[in-house]
Amino acid sequence: MTGAEVKQIFEPVVQEVVTLVRGQIAATNKSVKAVLLVGGFGQNAYLRETIRASIDPSIEVMQPPNGWTAVVRGALMKGLSVMEPTTARVKVASRSARKHYGTERMT
């Protein structure tokens, strides 16, 4: 399969993600400083660059290391914090947009 063929397969999905991200940014009342890409597809460089080119340049597009395991690690952290509250290191402080979570670091 050529690169052009692969791009043709993924382009509709990438454009749908871009549309959803732009919609979430527009729907929030707060200033958006960053878009955080997690999950398997969130680690794709083409997706990152397409989003970066499609939104305000002042908004950073980030892919954390090991972002593909974010959902599993988040579920594990939540489960551990319920079982032992002293292990909780991250607390959700607010919800800014649909499917976007603000966090507050506990010190």
Could you give the C-alpha distances from 101 to 2, 10, 46, in angstroms and in order? Answer: 37, 26, 24
Amino acid at 64: P
Position with higher pLDDT, 87 vs 94: 87
Ranking 18-22, 32-36, 73-77 by mean pLDDT, the lowest is: 73-77
Q: What's the per-residue H, E or C state across 65-100?
A: CCHHHHHHHHHHHHHHHHHCHHHCCEEEEEEEECCE
Q: Across residues 54-68, what is the average pLDDT?
A: 90
Could you give the C-alpha distances from 1 to 4, 9, 14, 17, in angstroms and in order? Answer: 8, 11, 19, 24
Q: Is the pLDDT score of 13 beyond 80? A: yes
Q: How confident is the model at residue 20 (pLDDT cuts 50, 70, 90)?
A: very high
